[in-house]
Amino acid sequence: MRHRSFNKYFRVLLLIVSVITLFFLLKYIGFNKVDEAFQSIGLKGALIITIFGFSENFFDALALKYSFIKKLPILKVWVLNCAGSIVNTVIPWDAGEVVKGTLVSKFLTLSESISGIVLWNYFHKLSRSLSLVFIVVVSLIFGTDLNSALLWIVIVVVAISFVPYLFMKLLINAEISHKLLKFLSSFWKKDYSNLIKKTKKLDKTLKNFKKENPHNFKRVFLFQFSARIISWLTFVVVAFMVGFDAPFAEVSLLYCAVNLGMYIFSIIPVKIGVGEGASYVIFSFFGFDGGIGLLITFILRLKAIFTLGVLSLFVGTLFNNTKVNVCDREKE
């Protein structure tokens, strides 16, 4: 109990630190700049950004829907996915995936929930890297004045982004989880045979997903990739709305750098403020106004919190019939 209470208060403390960090970053670039940015966006621009946000979330939800072996209504998956994703927006280390898995397990078995969430994350890593490759190619076709050395830095970093995907692919193909559990259980006196059996089943489900569900395999990737493209276009639109005077190709390359930078900085135990700070550093590193980078990321953060938060409000209504769903599941 004490351990849980400590974790709870520690997370609250980190959130407070995050908000304070963001406040001082915005103060550093000037609140007048923030005000000018919001005025330049206006209500029409805010509506466009919001539509982009809901669209990205919807495609991510579609990808999650087809990651599960059993069918769930898209609206239900959309709400559950938003509830988990909003946690990821403010808390690092993909804590929202645990929340997402816990919520989905109310409607599916725990193993079905876990396998679906793992598959979604597997495709998320793949779609992230491939979309960045696509964006770099598009940027080169449009042409860029970016220094060749800096351009190569972006290309190398994009290539490195495949490492998490390749690592996860290795784990799935080699069925690592149950083997590791079996190895560790040899040092414990308790009987974990039932748990090992479940993890072995999970490993096989993940490994055989493409073979047994070829259409869903394609759908999950296609929807994930579409969501990442929408994320890129949203970044470009926001950049132009706040008056960032740079060619389309260079804005796109900056998106790649910021996207990967925020992913790397996610290991830091605070998220709000850190992402904005990372954008400031990245824009400055490439010779642009770091304040603009901070503003773009800040606006995108607000967009994510709003669009994810609106749908997350409906989580409670989903559990009105949870008991019925559990009973039906047990009969199966």
Q: What is the pLDDT of residues 97-143, one digit of tens each?
A: 888 888 888 888 877 888 888 889 888 888 999 999 999 999 888 88
The pTM of the full predicted model, rounded to 2 decimals, is: 0.84
Query: What is the per-residue pLDDT for 203?
Result: 66
Radius of gyration of the CA atoms of the chain, in A: 21
The ranges assigned to domains in the chain are 42-327
CB-based contacts of 211, cutoff 8 Å, min separation 6: none
Which candidate, 59, 125, 118, places its Cα nearest to that of 266? 125
For 269, phi and psi rounded to 5 degrees? -70, 20
Query: What is the per-residue pLDDT for 176?
Result: 62
Query: What is the per-residue pLDDT for 9?
Result: 67
Long-range contacts of 284-289 (CB under 8 A, 24+ apart): 285/150, 286/146, 286/150, 286/254, 286/257, 287/147, 287/150, 288/244, 288/246, 288/254, 289/244
CB burial of 50-61 (b: ≥16 within 10 Å; e: otherwise) equals eebbbbbbbbbb
Spans of the chain, pLDDT less than 50: 323-332
CB burial of 141-170 (b: ≥16 within 10 Å; e: otherwise) equals eeebebeeebbebbbebbeebbebbeebee
- Tokens 């190709």 correspond to 249
Q: ∠ CA(215), CA(95), CA(57), 5° rounding?
A: 45
Q: Rounding to the nearest 10 degrees, give the CA dihedral for residues 258, 261, 263, 268.
A: -130
User: Could you tell me the two tokens for 150?
Assistant: 């800096």
Alpha carbons within 13 angstroms on the beta-carbon side of residue 273 total: 18
CB-based contacts of 89, cutoff 8 Å, min separation 6: 96, 271, 301, 304, 305, 308
Express each pLDDT in 210-226 by its tens digit: 788 888 889 999 999 99
Measured CA to CA, the distance from residue 22 to residue 193 in angstroms comes to 48
Distances 172 to 126, 167, 285, 308 between C-alpha atoms, Å: 14, 9, 37, 30
Query: What is the per-residue pLDDT for 2?
Result: 52
User: Could you tell me the two tokens for 248?
Assistant: 């389309």
Cβ(11)–Cβ(266) under 8 Å? Answer: no
Query: What is the per-residue pLDDT for 138?
Result: 92
